[in-house]
Amino acid sequence: MANPVPPRDRTDQPWRSEGAPPPPSPKKRMPGGWGSLVLTALAVYLITNIVLSFFNEGDGPTISYTEFDKQVAAGNVTKIYSKGDAIQGQLKEKRPVPDGKGDYTKFQTQRPAFADDDLWAQLTEQKVTVTAEPVVQERSFLANLLLSLAPMLLLVLLWVFIARRMSAGMGGAGGMLGRKQPPKPVEVEGGKRTTFADVAGIDEVEGELNDVVDFLKNPQAYRAMGAKMPRGVLLAGPPGTGKTLLARAVAGEAGVPFFSASASEFIEMIVGVGASRVRELFAEARKVAPAIIFIDEIDTIGRARGGGSGMGGHDEREQTLNQILTEMDGFTGSEGVIVLAATNRADVLDPALTRPGRFDRIVHVNPPDRGGREAILRIHTRQIPLAKDVDLEQVARTTPGMTGAELANLANEAALLAVKREQGAVTQSDLSDALEKVQLGAERPLVMPEEERRRTAYHESGHALLGMLQPGADPVRKITIVPRGRALGVTLSTPDADKYAYTEEYLRGRIIGALGGMAAEQVVFGVVTTGAESDLEQVTSIARGMVGRWGMSEAVGRLTAIPSDAQQAYGLSAAPSTLDTVDAEMRRIVDECYEDAVRLLGEHRDKLDALSAALLADETLEEEAAYRAAGIERPDPNAPEPGVGPNPERPPA
């Protein structure tokens, strides 16, 4: 399995990187500088000393010598300490502080030099102890220093913590506003990078990208011939075909740093942020050049620019696009940086983006052929234990049109089924059931009334029988009336080999087969139900393409009256009268096909009844059982077919 895309290491960094050397650690600076730290420390120190001075005053108030003499005479002094004329003492009982608040026990006083009292005799008479140690123990300078520094240190630590939190918060805002912070490269899990060995099924694309890999490995040989490194390569193709995986494989194969980002991650509400992020990304890539930048879904910001002045997000998108254009081929020039981009809509990109000098190559990544599907399945089952009966070639043969992502999902679904069934390995049955779940949908435990079940059996038998009767139609692989997904029943038809073009006869056969369910209900029951909704959507899509896109109508002629994008209003590319003709021709083709479907089912009513009876009995019929129940011989897979094309929604350009 391919390694996952590395995660981002910053929320404000819109790209991920792998294979780049670690950047130097930036020097950490305190917010506001050291000057503010020193001023804060001094202020805290002064405040702390003032607070401690109040506490020290409470340890022993200074009283008058008269008050002291009074307490000695009253016999309320228990001990004193004298050093010179300074006296400290302690009372037996608390007394209120003279001219002050509160009471005191310990005290300090000063004996006047002119005093002529017999202090020693009084102390002896009152049995006062004269100690050799101070009564009021004052803290040392070191103790006072520690006590004053402790709250200051706590406040400084709190200040640093708050400052860092604010700095982190401002980092996100600063990143949003384009502040440059070097990204920390993120290595892939296990240190093993994606290479072409992890890519399969798209050999022709790999061949085109090998030129880029060789240029990155041997730039001197190309420069000696005067060849310039391509600026960019655009990978265009349907979703799930492996465009992102290919980009990572190119970087891993060349051994150069790889920066990947989604185009939508550059856009913010604030105009100018996207352009700033683009500049930062290219600046980081140039530091470690040669390097590869990969931008996924580039059509998000690379759509063709309008002529009017933009506002808000539209203006931001255009500024971001302009910055990409400048970085790729402008005055700055990104020497040694190749830009790979992926899109599902190459037709909507701005012409300035796809011209030579920007994206020099446009590589179309299409769904793999049968051999490619088998190779992809082998890659995605490398870590999955397979039973001996597993035939990946047969699985690849029955999965035409599936992309690499769909095949990876198929292998994973089979592994999940094997775990649920408590098996030691994935069997062919697990792969078949997983394929049914992927193609047909999950089974629903729905109990249908017998009459509705019978109508569903005839509906699916009508699809299958017309598919069997039409020359060159895709063989019927499976019929079921077990509810799956949103459908009450499913008929699965797939070609024996990949097809890449279409004929009118084949497409008419597809329409007749799609209308078979509705025609069968009309022939047997004389009613039309809502079960044909998805069939009619398919019929409308095919008929619209035949008339408006592929020139299969004489009335419309050999022109494209409808854009390829079915979601777009198709009135923009043709006159109203032409669109009316398109509508009339679509109705004509569908009506003719419906008449043929009703006629064929009426002529082969016995086969229809037999097939529906077998379906009611078994609920699900595989390919051989379905043809046997209808009494029709299975066509030879090697016989030439008049029509081609498994999916009329995606014809070749």
d(CA 193, CA 318): 34
**pLDDT surpassing 50 at residue 645:** no
Reduced to 3 states, what is the DSSP secondary structure of residue 139? coil
**pLDDT surpassing 50 at residue 346:** yes
- Percent of the chain topping pLDDT 70: 76
Phi, psi for 294 (deg, rounded to 5) = -115, 125
d(CA 224, CA 289): 19
**pLDDT surpassing 50 at residue 5:** no
Q: In what order do the strands lie in the sheet with 86-96?
A: 103-110, 86-96, 77-83, 129-130
Q: Are strands 476-480 and 620-622 parallel, antiparallel or unpaired?
A: antiparallel
The average pLDDT across 607-619 equals 89
Phi, psi for 206 (deg, rounded to 5) = -60, -35
End-to-end Cα spacing for the chain: 32
**pLDDT surpassing 70 at residue 424:** yes
Per-residue pLDDT band at 40 (split at 50, 70, 90) = low
pLDDT tens figures, 299-308: 888 877 764 4
How confident is the model at residue 418, as a pLDDT?
A: 92
How confident is the model at residue 587, as a pLDDT?
A: 94
Closest CA to 49 of 112, 141, 173: 141
Reduced to 3 states, what is the DSSP secondary structure of residue 479? strand
Average pLDDT score over the chain:
77
How confident is the model at residue 188, as a pLDDT?
A: 46
Per-residue pLDDT band at 334 (split at 50, 70, 90) = low
pLDDT tens figures, 12-27: 555 556 655 555 555 5
| 273 φψ region: left (φ > 0), alpha (ψ -120 to 50), beta (else) | alpha
Assigned token pair, 501: 């073009």
pLDDT tens figures, 437-491: 887 777 777 777 888 888 889 999 999 999 888 877 788 888 888 887 777 888 8
Angle between helices 450-469 and 576-603 (to 10 degrees): 100
| Mean pLDDT comparison of 51-55, 79-83, 161-165, 576-580, highest-scoring range | 576-580
**pLDDT surpassing 70 at residue 641:** no
Assigned token pair, 367: 């769904």
d(CA 66, CA 68): 5
pLDDT tens figures, 246-260: 888 888 888 888 888
d(CA 399, CA 373): 8
Q: Exactly one of 460, 521, 585, 641 is catalytic; which is it?
A: 460
How confident is the model at residue 652, as a pLDDT?
A: 35
Greatest CA span in the chain, whole angstroms? 148
The pTM is what?
0.64
Reduced to 3 states, what is the DSSP secondary structure of residue 260? strand
| Mean pLDDT comparison of 131-145, 154-168, 352-366, 371-385, highest-scoring range | 371-385
Distance of alpha carbon 110 from its chain centroid, rounded?
Answer: 82
Per-residue pLDDT band at 131 (split at 50, 70, 90) = confident
How confident is the model at residue 596, as a pLDDT?
A: 92
pLDDT tens figures, 251-289: 888 888 888 888 877 776 556 777 888 888 888 888 887
pLDDT tens figures, 144-172: 666 667 776 777 777 777 777 665 554 44
Please confirm, yes or no, whether 623 is among the known catalytic residues: no
Closest CA to 209 of 345, 358, 340, 329: 340
| Mean pLDDT comparison of 129-143, 225-239, 332-346, 598-612, highest-scoring range | 598-612
Strand partners, 349: 303
Assigned token pair, 36: 């503010």
**pLDDT surpassing 60 at residue 646:** no
Per-residue pLDDT band at 566 (split at 50, 70, 90) = very low
Q: H or E stretch including 130? A: strand 129-130
- More confident position, 233 or 563: 233
Assigned token pair, 407: 């095949």
The average pLDDT across 173-200 equals 55
Q: Are strands 16-18 and 258-262 parallel, antiparallel or unpaired?
A: antiparallel
- Percent of the chain topping pLDDT 90: 10
d(CA 148, CA 516): 94
Assigned token pair, 298: 């580039």
| Mean pLDDT comparison of 53-57, 251-255, 515-519, highest-scoring range | 515-519
DSSP characters over 178-209: T---PPPP-PPGGGPPP-GGG--S-HHHHHHH
Assigned token pair, 514: 């799609």
Contact status, residue 492 vs residue 440, Cβ threshold 8 Å: yes
d(CA 644, CA 635): 15
d(CA 545, CA 553): 10
**pLDDT surpassing 60 at residue 108:** yes
Q: H or E stretch including 522? A: helix 516-524
